[in-house]
Amino acid sequence: MKKFLMVLILSPGLCLTASRAQDKNKGATVSPPVTDTAKKKPAGITDKVKSSRKFDGLFTLYQDTATGTVQLYVKKNQLGKEYIYQSFSISGPNQLYLNQSMHRATLVFKVQKAFDKLEFSRVNTRFWYDRNNPVSKTAEVDKPEAVFLVEKTVAEDADGYLINADGLFISEKLDPVKPLLLPGPNTMTIFNLGNLNPAKSRYANVRSFPNNSDIVVDLAYDNPAPFNSGTTDITDARYVRVRMQHSLIEMPQNDFRPRRDDPRVGYFLQYINDQTSISPVPYKDIIHRWHLKKKDPSAALSEPVEPIVYWIENTTPNEYRQIIVDAGLKWNEAFEKAGFKNAIQMKIMPDDADWDPADIRYNVIRWVSSAQPTYGAIGPSFVNPKTGQIIGADITIEWYSGSATPVLDELFNTTAPAGKLQYPGMDPQHEANCTLAGELKSQLLTGMTVLDASGASANEVKEMHKQFLIYLIMHEMGHTLGLNHNMKASQMLSPAEINNTEITHKIGLIGSVMDYPAINIALDRSKQGDYYTTKAGPYDLWAIEYGYTPFSEAEEAAGLKSIIARSTDPKLVFGNDGDDMRAPGKAMDPRVNVNELTSDAIGYAEDRFKIVNQTMGKLVPKYTKEGQSYAELRTRYFTLLGQRYSMMAAISRYIGGIYIDRSYPEQKSGVKPYTPVPLATQKRAMDMLHKYVFAPDAFEADAQVYAWLQPQRRGFTQNGSGDDFRITNTTLAIQADGVLSHLLHGVTLQRITNSRLYGNQYSVASMMGDLQKGIFSADIATNVNVFRQNLQTYFVRQLASMIAPQNQQFDDVSKAAALYTLKKIKTQLSTAVSTNEETKAHRANLSFIIENALEQK
Ligand SMILES: [Zn+2]
């Protein structure tokens, strides 16, 4: 059941970029013991590099032309200096986040000399000390050194030292490459790489420039006895070669000033603690942003000295290039609010370009079609951990169809990595992935199915498609500008406004392109407005204004304060992944959520249920096509099911929800930080669930489709237990995972009780009583259909497990309500009228479960 849902509804993930904390005062470093080599005559390096090609740049590298081996020359004036390290995967298993353009480890390192060796160590950047405070003298205390490599020098001359670089680059010292699998019953059967085989590994490319040196390596892994052969991109699980790029980057020397983070606006950030502060919140967190400087500092609007340039990779289909250019340039409106004209430039990579998209000096929007897409699109950037300055960015779009019905199979065959992978030594949030394209694609397919099934023209479908792509590009670009998600932005307009293009063409459909909204489909097709927002919303303009408006050091605090003071404007509402309620029991503000739309998400969801039910009847006639199997019909049906799931999940979160307000007292928002959702709204959500999720006829429309849900046979890939569609399992999974697992979650129930103490008027007992009515009353005097049998049994089982004495997940108020509800069900069942054998059997089973539950000690 769970497995099915994972395939059916793209498992939501997080969009994160590398975030590593930073900053410590310079000058407080402890010198290692250094041998006095000055007395000896340096041996010289000429002899050691005579058969090598030299790469001059930030670091000088020598590659032996016969063996390929690389030697690294470290100048004496580079010792003790800090450098940035950034790794990228260029080609490897998607499942392990080793596919193209993944930005992986970011760290600061330095090289020091100790006796006849060079020591490479990481610098801890998570603390800040006020130099005027004597406590800063302890800056080095209890922060153990992280030496990741010690290499003996093979030669030296007056200016520096030569070492063999294989230990640094043909190794996992800098980037751990493969995830750490925690010991457990499944460890052996999860796909992973074996051991690095240096003999089979090699250098693929070496580049060195004044500010960076890039070393591209092919790391070979051997796993003699793999228990898991991986997905179809893995040719042979025993032998997997991964292409990685190590980039050594000079610490930028410029006048970039870090900008402080604020909880009311959503930037990616570096977490830094002020160790000399007595504040209750000793945070010195700084945001990720580009270094933009006005050409003309006195002008209100000026071009930047260096614009942010994005290159569209030459692998991008021609018909999409102009759309991507236009989408990117739409961000310029936001930068104008910050005083910059033409801050964003979009260029197309020539077919005969002599540079590589992996060259970190270029920000590239890449277009790929991989065997096992896991993410859809990503928009990662990498930063100077000490300042938050974004140094480079790449966007990868993984989508490969120009037809009106794109990649249906891809949507349902996606293999997501099992949980979050752990990489030792790397930030746990390094994945830098974004599931937006997957979520959006699911929404897009619904839109296309609805339009297609109701006979819309090809042009109309094409327009929807175009809006989708613009939204996707703007969203991923927003990440590369430093913005994280704003899952509250889709609340900006009311249902009455959402299809009014006079409004939406002016300010957009939603406050920000950084949301995962439901596609906008009008129930009344003649009223259809835009499907997606295609411009930076009010929140986006404001967020860029906060992050990028230049201020003098003296004016910055007041300037930022006046910008952030506007956070109470309803168009600027913000809530990121940490606050969103996509998973059962997660977070608390139902307005911060994915796959919903408008300030009346409940009412909007009702329209969507109606659209789904209406479309069901059109599926069989529309997708019974000559010359093809029923696979497409089945896929279209799944899309609509996924839509139902999203809507019921969105509605359910209003029950027991708490509205969050993060404004500061001086903003006088008139709203308390926490306000329980009004009783009437909670009741309305419950009524909606009764009607569209629990009612005996909630899934009636689907009966028109069931007998046609046949996948296409391919070889011997039929499900071993039959390839028919598991109707009852699926329906129950949707009802249980989408709704009941949230409403009966220990955390939700405890919050309902706690919030009763500051305004919530809906008790756990009342809520469970309403569930009981919705799940039992409609057919208590008649026979019970199979959907309701499953639902009633599930509900009773959940209540029974809640009252088990050994169950510690629930507080006593919840346990009491569960017991009380079970007793009410028992009484209600005693009045039931069953005429057929099936219903009698079902009710006998319910009574049996209840009796057993009530008797347990
Ligand atoms: Zn995203």
pLDDT tens across 718-758, in order?
888 888 999 999 999 999 989 999 999 999 999 999 999 99
Per-residue pLDDT tens over the stretch 38-76 = 445 556 899 999 999 999 999 999 999 999 999 999 999
Distance from the CA of 91 to the center of ligand 1, in angstroms?
22
Query: 658: left (phi > 0), else alpha (psi -120 to 50), else beta?
Result: beta
Contacts of 116 (CB under 8 A, 6+ apart): 35, 152, 153
Last residue within a domain, chosen from 205, 234, 250: 250
Which is more confidently placed, 784 or 462?
784
Instruction: Lowest mean pLDDT of 99-103, 174-178, 767-771, name the range.
Output: 99-103
Is 638 a residue whose pLDDT tops 80? yes
846 in any annotated domain: no
Confidence band (pLDDT; 50, 70, 90) for 182?
A: confident
Per-residue pLDDT tens over the stretch 779-825 = 999 999 999 999 999 999 999 999 999 999 999 999 999 999 999 99
Distance from the CA of 304 to the center of ligand 1, in angstroms?
26
What are the tokens at 258? 């870090």
Distance from the CA of 551 to the center of ligand 1, in angstroms?
29
Distance from the CA of 486 to the center of ligand 1, in angstroms?
9
Quote the pLDDT of residue 8: 33
Distance from the CA of 475 to the center of ligand 1, in angstroms?
6
Distance from the CA of 485 to the center of ligand 1, in angstroms?
6
338 in any annotated domain: yes
Distance from the CA of 49 to the center of ligand 1, in angstroms?
47
Q: Which of 24, 6, 9, 12 is nearest to 582 (CA)?
A: 12
Per-residue pLDDT tens over the stretch 196-246 = 999 999 999 999 999 999 999 999 999 998 988 888 889 999 999 999 999
Distance from the CA of 374 to the center of ligand 1, in angstroms?
14
Confidence band (pLDDT; 50, 70, 90) for 26?
A: very low
505 in any annotated domain: yes
Judge whether 816 and 765 are in contact, CB under 8 Å.
yes
From residue 541, alpha-carbon distances to 308, 330, 336, 537 in Å are: 17, 11, 9, 6
684 and 758 in a single domain? The answer is yes
128 and 29 in a single domain? The answer is no
Per-residue pLDDT tens over the stretch 519-552 = 999 999 899 999 999 999 999 999 999 999 999 9
Distance from the CA of 436 to the center of ligand 1, in angstroms?
5
Instruction: Lowest mean pLDDT of 31-45, 234-248, 430-444, 570-584, name the range.
Output: 31-45
Distance from the CA of 746 to the center of ligand 1, in angstroms?
29
Distance from the CA of 478 to the center of ligand 1, in angstroms?
8
Distance from the CA of 672 to the center of ligand 1, in angstroms?
29
Torsions phi, psi for 725 (to 5 deg): -80, 130
Distance from the CA of 179 to the center of ligand 1, in angstroms?
23
Is 421 a residue whose pLDDT tops 60? no
Which is more confidently placed, 416 or 311?
311
Quote the pLDDT of residue 12: 33
Confidence band (pLDDT; 50, 70, 90) for 24?
A: very low
Is 13 a residue whose pLDDT tops 90? no
Distance from the CA of 480 to the center of ligand 1, in angstroms?
10
Distance from the CA of 533 to the center of ligand 1, in angstroms?
15
Distance from the CA of 519 to the center of ligand 1, in angstroms?
16
58 and 28 in a single domain? The answer is no
Distance from the CA of 340 to the center of ligand 1, in angstroms?
24
Quote the pLDDT of residue 230: 86
Distance from the CA of 429 to the center of ligand 1, in angstroms?
14
237 and 126 in a single domain? The answer is yes
Quote the pLDDT of residue 160: 96
Distance from the CA of 413 to the center of ligand 1, in angstroms?
21
809 in any annotated domain: no
Q: What percent of the chain has pLDDT over 90?
A: 72
Distance from the CA of 395 to the center of ligand 1, in angstroms?
11
Instruction: Report the mean per-residue pLDDT for the chain.
Output: 88
Judge whether 537 and 510 are in contact, CB under 8 Å.
yes
Contacts of 783-787 spanning 24+ positions with Cβ under 8 A: 783/834, 783/835, 783/836, 783/838, 783/839, 784/696, 784/834, 784/838, 784/839, 784/842, 784/843, 785/696, 786/728, 787/696, 787/698, 787/699, 787/728, 787/731, 787/732
Distance from the CA of 513 to the center of ligand 1, in angstroms?
9
Per-residue pLDDT tens over the stretch 269-308 = 999 999 888 999 999 999 999 999 999 999 999 999 999 9
224 and 326 in a single domain? The answer is no
Per-residue pLDDT tens over the stretch 827-843 = 999 999 989 999 999 99
34 and 51 in a single domain? The answer is no
Distance from the CA of 379 to the center of ligand 1, in angstroms?
7
431 in any annotated domain: no
Tell me the DSSP string of 737-759.
IIIIHHHT-HHHHHHHHHHGGGT
Quote the pLDDT of residue 292: 97
Distance from the CA of 377 to the center of ligand 1, in angstroms?
8
288 in any annotated domain: no
What are the tokens at 217? 């390596």
Last residue within a domain, chosen from 735, 762, 789: 762
22 in any annotated domain: yes
Is 187 a residue whose pLDDT tops 90? no
Distance from the CA of 522 to the center of ligand 1, in angstroms?
25
15 and 138 in a single domain? The answer is no
Quote the pLDDT of residue 190: 84
Distance from the CA of 457 to the center of ligand 1, in angstroms?
31
Size of the chain, expressed as the number of residues it contains: 857
Is 415 a residue whose pLDDT tops 70? no
Overall pTM surpassing 0.75 (yes/no)? yes
Distance from the CA of 628 to the center of ligand 1, in angstroms?
36
Distance from the CA of 538 to the center of ligand 1, in angstroms?
18
Distance from the CA of 434 to the center of ligand 1, in angstroms?
5
Quote the pLDDT of residue 369: 66
607 and 653 in a single domain? The answer is yes
Distance from the CA of 559 to the center of ligand 1, in angstroms?
28
Distance from the CA of 21 to the center of ligand 1, in angstroms?
21
What is the rounded average pLDDT of the residues 119-131? 91
Instruction: Lowest mean pLDDT of 74-83, 137-146, 676-685, name the range.
Output: 137-146
Q: Which of 191, 144, 146, 200 is nearest to 173 (CA)?
A: 146
Distance from the CA of 514 to the center of ligand 1, in angstroms?
6
Is 4 a residue whose pLDDT tops 70? no
Instruction: Lowest mean pLDDT of 137-151, 577-591, 625-639, name the range.
Output: 137-151
Distance from the CA of 487 to the center of ligand 1, in angstroms?
10
Distance from the CA of 635 to the center of ligand 1, in angstroms?
25
d(CA 754, CA 757): 6
Quote the pLDDT of residue 751: 98
Q: How many domains does one find in the chain?
A: 3
23 and 92 in a single domain? The answer is no
715 and 587 in a single domain? The answer is yes
Distance from the CA of 481 to the center of ligand 1, in angstroms?
12
Quote the pLDDT of residue 410: 28
Distance from the CA of 105 to the center of ligand 1, in angstroms?
20
Distance from the CA of 515 to the center of ligand 1, in angstroms?
7
Confidence band (pLDDT; 50, 70, 90) for 31?
A: very low
71 in any annotated domain: yes
Judge whether 593 and 604 are in contact, CB under 8 Å.
no
Distance from the CA of 10 to the center of ligand 1, in angstroms?
14
Is 37 a residue whose pLDDT tops 80? no
654 and 672 in a single domain? The answer is yes
What are the tokens at 1? 């059941």
Fill in the amino acid letter for 281: V
Distance from the CA of 612 to the center of ligand 1, in angstroms?
27
Helices (H) and strands (E) counted in the chain, each on its own, are 20, 25
Is 409 a residue whose pLDDT tops 80? no
Distance from the CA of 541 to the center of ligand 1, in angstroms?
17
Distance from the CA of 479 to the center of ligand 1, in angstroms?
7
Range of the domain at 554: 308-412+438-762
Distance from the CA of 510 to the center of ligand 1, in angstroms?
15
Which is more confidently placed, 716 or 828?
828
Last residue within a domain, chosen from 728, 762, 796: 762
d(CA 456, CA 461): 7
Distance from the CA of 578 to the center of ligand 1, in angstroms?
13
Distance from the CA of 363 to the center of ligand 1, in angstroms?
18
28 and 104 in a single domain? The answer is no
